[in-house]
Amino acid sequence: MLDRLDIIESRYQKLHEMLQEPENINDIKKYTNIMKELRGLEEVVLTYREYKKVLETIKDLKELISEEKDQELKELADAELKENLEKEEKLEEKLKILLIPKDENDEKNVIVQIRGAAGGEEANLFAADLYRMYTKYAESKNWRVEVTNADETGIGGFSAIDFIISGDSVYSYLKYESGAHRVQRVPATESGGRIHTSTATVLVMPEADEIDVELDLSDVRVDTFCSSGPGGQSVNTTKSAVRVTHIPTGIVVSCQDGKSQHENKANALKVLKARLYDKLLQERKEQEGKERLSKIGHGNRSEKIRTYNFPQNRVTDHRIGFTIQQLDRVLEGKLDPIIEALIQEDQKQKLQGK
């Protein structure tokens, strides 16, 4: 581990030197790539340097204890040694986690698609709740949310809503959210007070870069139509909404929430690239014969991953058996306890080689 950390630290120092070279300063793309690599290594290097300082302190304290005659000073040194040995253990564990190979998509923005599934209008209302939850979570992280397409229902739900979340390392947090989300509650329309169970599906995809997917526009059919509001009613007379169809795969993407046809087309192509990239990632994992992190990560699309139980104010993530009695807070975007538990379990499995 130490040899690997020495190599990383050398690379970090080299990157700092490269930032001062005129040819890199004047090349925005090169400079941006160097800065991105630096940021990716920074936490590892700073933790390693702190770890080395602790090791040096431990060495000095052990020498002091073996040579010191004053009993009082020995006891002080012993206490300090114990404290630094605990630090060493914690930093070593942190370094092991930091050295786990990162997902190549962790730094990327995401495209999220939420669909009302089983449960009729109640499922569509739950889809709206999930959209609001992710929006609130994004706000807490200073991320930007842009809706690209929304099929609203008459009473405030969404049969479907697509949106882009942009910011720092968005995918590293939200990649665990794909799957079927289940809600258990008494619908507003239920006069008998019976609890209904409904589901909505969430799909989180990393936004694809140009180098990730080569999209041949000759394979894409573009159709325009009038934007529609709740219940499918037309909300304008100009054909600003755009539908793109990728002919080889049959993937269809619609966007209607942009300000212009040009903006909707750009967003539709962005979503299409993400869909194609996600398809590529899934095929790659299947070819490698690996699970798609079905217990935690980029879960099975049909897999029930989480239950939101209103009567008990409870949220349970079924993949890791995590339960929190704070449904009201979770729906207000306080997702950190759940996501942190998922990240920790993911790291644990990777450390164990699963």
In a domain, 103, yes or no: no
In sequence order, what are the residues at sequence separation of 6 or more whose Cβ sits closer than 8 angstroms to the Cβ of residue 178? 202, 203, 204, 298, 299, 301, 305
* CATH code of the domain covering residue 332: 3.30.70.1660
| pLDDT for the residue 323 | 96
Average pLDDT, the chain: 85
Range of the domain at 138: 110-351
Judge whether 40 and 172 are in contact, CB under 8 Å.
no
Query: How is residue 43 written in tokens?
Result: 């936490």
pLDDT tens readout for residues 186-225: 887 666 778 889 999 999 998 887 667 778 788 888 888 7
Total domain count for the chain? 2
| pLDDT for the residue 189 | 66
* CATH code of the domain covering residue 44: 1.20.58
In a domain, 104, yes or no: no
Verify that 59 and 146 share a domain, yes or no.
no
Q: Residue 298: pLDDT band by 50, 70, 90 thresholds?
A: very low
Mean pLDDT, residues 25-42: 87
| pLDDT for the residue 299 | 39
| pLDDT for the residue 269 | 87
In a domain, 105, yes or no: no
| pLDDT for the residue 303 | 67
Domain end, chosen from 72, 98, 124, is at 98
| pLDDT for the residue 96 | 86
Verify that 204 and 158 share a domain, yes or no.
yes
Verify that 216 and 309 share a domain, yes or no.
yes
Question: What is the amino acid identity at position 260?
Answer: S
| pLDDT for the residue 228 | 63
Verify that 295 and 273 share a domain, yes or no.
yes
Verify that 233 and 130 share a domain, yes or no.
yes
Verify that 133 and 44 share a domain, yes or no.
no
Q: Residue 292: pLDDT band by 50, 70, 90 thresholds?
A: very low
| pLDDT for the residue 293 | 43
pTM recorded for the entire structure: 0.70
pLDDT tens readout for residues 143-156: 999 998 888 887 88
pLDDT tens readout for residues 110-163: 999 999 988 888 999 999 999 999 999 999 999 999 998 888 887 889 999 999
